[in-house]
Amino acid sequence: MTATDIVWHEHKVTKVQRSTLKQQQPCILWFTGLSGAGKSTIAGAVEQKLFELGHHTYLLDGDNVRHGLNGDLGFSDADRVENIRRIGEMAKLFTDAGLIVLSAFISPFRADRRMVRELVEKNEFIEVYMDTPLAECEQRDPKGLYQKARNGIIKNFTGIDSEYEVPSAAEIEIKTAEFNVEECAEQIIQYLKDNNLIFSS
Amino acid sequence: MTATDIVWHEHKVTKVQRSTLKQQQPCILWFTGLSGAGKSTIAGAVEQKLFELGHHTYLLDGDNVRHGLNGDLGFSDADRVENIRRIGEMAKLFTDAGLIVLSAFISPFRADRRMVRELVEKNEFIEVYMDTPLAECEQRDPKGLYQKARNGIIKNFTGIDSEYEVPSAAEIEIKTAEFNVEECAEQIIQYLKDNNLIFSS
């Protein structure tokens, strides 16, 4: 028998096997909200807590996506939809790899968020609405973007001259104007525990 | 003090921390070679072995990429370059997440493979050339594609009427016509051990 006669079947490691190795249920924590609502900050704090608990995570945000995978996209309506689509497909692959994915993008439109929800299995998509009033976001204005939008330097800015569609049934709502970062992050960790997405080994 | 006064700094979990949690050096095993050369099969076998050793991996191949992230791409020259670019960017994110990534795509052009190599850190890109003679691939013809290419039903088929540029300095060369699947996979595992990319805990 030569090598050619070998049956070349596939040995695929499954999502369940990867998840078992990592002792967690893969899922997507999809942070959505206005600019300045605290998406990246809270997502980062949640990831830090998950890491300390021994969990395997990955955070997708503008820093690692905008200049890389989605570096060819601009800000037209079509490109904004494609941006979210690719992030969703990528998040799906990371859950397939057994990870808990955190994504932090404004993602202002319900249709786009629904598209991502439908990419993955039921219960794998957890919408985390950063329920921060516009006035609070504008007061924080960490990157000076609201000021620029008000002055007309930036067009189509979410909350100013482009709509943010509030989630109608987000799995988690976080009121960042009422709780500090630690408390907000803990609320999300508690959700993951209550829903058996993370558990002690 | 109110929540607004909190300094909203980022707590980012680093690649080194993720890698430490998983007890491995993240890297990309980039399988390249003709259709039928054994890329997916050997990559699958390597992944299975890594899983059994307790390592955290992810395999990117046509099955999970073509209909998802790259579902909008066709087979024009521009789309083929974009296909490899996105796979490279995605592989980079998976290494950033601390995983050992296996990718199995023909990727016939040196320039495209070099583009991916340059995306990641030195020593993170491991080119695995499936050195299988065209005649052998054509004899295997697992999907009947060579037959169709010979009959002119498929155009621009790598090895028939489109070039495959042999790697000039691949980190690993596998002669699938001379060794069986088990032996080929073991050669790659041995490379990872010899280069301290995987180690026993």
A136 CB neighbours in chain B (<8 A) are: 4
Q: Which two tokens stand for residue B38?
A: 């054994």
Cβ of A177 and B82 within 8 Å? no
ipTM of the complex: 0.90
Tell me how far apart the alpha carbons of residues A170 and A128 are, in angstroms, rounded to a whole number. 6
| Domain annotation for chain A: domains and CATH numbers | 17-194 (3.40.50.300)
Q: What is the mean pLDDT of chain B?
A: 91
Question: Which segment of A25-34, A47-56, B73-82, B116-125 scores lowest on mean pLDDT?
Answer: B73-82
Q: State the DSSP H helix or E strand holding residue B19, giving kind and residue range, or none if neither.
A: helix B15-22
A175-184 burial: b if 16+ Cβ within 10 Å, else e:
bbbebbbeeb
State the Rg of chain A over Cα: 19
- In total, chain B counts a number of residues equal to 201
B14: exposed, middle or buried (Cβ count in 10 Å: 0-12, 13-18, 19+): exposed
Q: CA–CA distance from A29 to each of B11, B49, B72, B113 (Å)? A: 17, 31, 25, 33
Q: How far apart are the CA of B10 and the nearest CA of chain A, in angstroms?
A: 6
Amino acid in position B21: L
Q: What is the mean pLDDT of chain A?
A: 91
Q: What percentage of chain B has pLDDT greater than the value 90?
A: 75
B176 to chain A: which residues are within 8 Å by CB? Answer: 3
- The maximal CA–CA distance of chain A, rounded, in angstroms, is 76
Q: Are A148 and A142 in contact (CB under 8 A)?
A: no
Share of chain A above pLDDT 90, in %: 75
| 3-class state of residue A188 by DSSP | helix
Instruction: Count other C-beta atoms under 10 Å from residue A71's C-beta.
Output: 10
- Provide DSSP, A51-78: HHTT--EEEEEHHHHTTTTTTT--SSHH
Which chain A residues touch B64 with a CB distance below 8 Å?
A: 93, 96
So which residues of A are the catalytic ones? Answer: 107
Cβ atoms of B63 and A10 within 8 Å: the answer is: no
Pick B57's closest partner by Cβ from A13, A44, A119.
Answer: A13
Residue pair B35/B106 in contact (Cβ under 8 Å)? The answer is yes
Structure confidence by residue, pLDDT tens digits, A118-151: 999 999 999 999 999 999 999 999 989 999 999 9
B44: closest CA of chain A, how far (Å)? 5
